[in-house]
Chains A and B, each alone.
Chain A
């Protein structure tokens, strides 16, 4: 068991625990969001053990450091809580939590009881694997059209958000 494998299992288990914490803390939204942060950062660490360094940095920076912060920002600004929902809404949340827990359980059991060779890694990783040089070259030569389309989509989203915000104020 190399150090890489041990760390992979440690952070993998931490990610699952964080996801379960997110589900079980459904009464306290901020604690749930913090458990989600634990999952995101643990996933980033898992990516590091898999030598996918750029994806790990982006995972922690974007998911852990921006998306969940914005979740928290909205939650704290609006002071949301589950008790303010109508009874139908509360039942739905509890159903969603139960379904989520069941899905996690099924996945973990499949991983533990299943065939480990299905998760085998390639013997040698290609040169420069996980680095940003290859990603940059691929993005701007093979996939440049998709990059442009994605940036147009983001521009449309920004303009739409601005218009909606202005309409609410003015």
Chain B
């Protein structure tokens, strides 16, 4: 029974999905409260002890689990039950290819801190991201409700549009790093890039592709239907859109899948554009050598592993904070604005980005 994949799967499920996703609901409440100059939710307590409102995620889960599961009359029961699953599963299995750390040698065992080191990692993410569109579309249709149907239709158009642009915006990164394997991409960012030969910068994706970073962040936030792109669940227009007729844990699953995707977006952006697990200016060899001179090589490798994991999680939380910032400061876009942003602005810009990147690579590396 291979122990390593079991440990990795358990880590993904227990730490990332069940552990961090509820913390993000707390972050959302507290960050929005701080941004709006109020206190936020802090009343949930265990016999009088409230810890800054950190018990609210637990209270949320208990509330959602004990609420009545309402299925509307005339709804398609099977599809109504399946859509939260179709929305949640792609969000969870996307964690399989995210590298939490590099490759570490402990004597003759090699530890690769990634669930599945597949050659086509980025394509895998896009493939299962495109399946996630079905959750919202089928939820909208199966609820037998006009407003849900409108939400589902809007969601389908928005999600398939932004899938296309999401793929095109990372082609520039693909051209620079010459690989779709996320572990290799993170490894390639573990070095220093000399701007004009004199200024040392960490060789991160955002230095090579600043426009690509902005466009990718926009496209993938639109894919997640987070405000300002939350037309499908526009509260003031179509009540709650596609998850109108969902209550209890079925809604809980939709809610959770949105927050799990926030973590995925943060982890992906951190891996592709912000250097993943790499510490800026301190490459792996520098760290291991510096620690190994005081303690042994084995201890140095282990400590380096922890440092890299902590760096990655720090970057993930920074990106989560950025997404919350965008969510709470921008009003919702109008539907035609969302569509024209995708097809008239991001798509031409991403193609121009590919062209310019190719030109620069040709000039820098010489032809042939």
Contacts and interface: CB of A to CB of B under 8 A. Distances in A.
B153 A69 contact: no
Nearest to B82: A34
Contact of A31 (B76, B137, B149, B163): B76
Interface stretch (A10-18, A71-79, A84-92): A71-79
Contacts of B290: none
Given A30-B76, A53-B119, A69 B134 contact: yes
B152 A76 contact: yes
A155 B363 CA distance: 30
Nearest to A54: B120
B176 interface: no
A61 B126 contact: yes
Contact of B153 (A30, A34, A61, A77): A77
A30 B126 CA distance: 24
B123 A57 contact: yes
Contacts of A19: none
Interface residues of B, number: 31
Contacts, number: 81
A157 interface: no
Interface string B108-129: 0000000000111001101111
A73 B120 contact: no
Contacts of A60: 127-128, 130-131
B160 A66 contact: yes
Contacts of B133: 65, 69
Interface in A131-151: 131-132
Contacts of B134: 34, 37, 69, 72
B119 A41 contact: no
Most chain A beta-carbon contacts within 10 A, residue among B131, B140, B156: B131
B153 A66 contact: no
Nearest to B157: A73
B23 to A, nearest CB: 30
Interface of chain B, helix or strand or loop or mixed?
helix
A77 B154 CA distance: 11
A167 B134 CA distance: 31
Interface string A48-65: 000001101110110011
B128 A132 contact: no
A34 B138 contact: yes
A156 interface: no
B158 to A, nearest CB: 11
- Which of B127, B152, B159 gathers most chain A CB within 10 Å? B127
B131 A41 contact: yes
B213 to A, nearest CB: 22
Contact of A53 (B78, B118, B130): B118
B79 interface: yes
Given A69-B160, A76-B152, A132-B120, A31 B130 contact: no
List of 4 A-B pairs having minimum Cβ-Cβ separation, nearest first: A65-B130, A57-B123, A60-B127, A61-B127
Interface of A: 28, 30-31, 34, 37, 41, 44, 53-54, 56-58, 60-61, 64-66, 69-70, 72-73, 76-77, 131-132
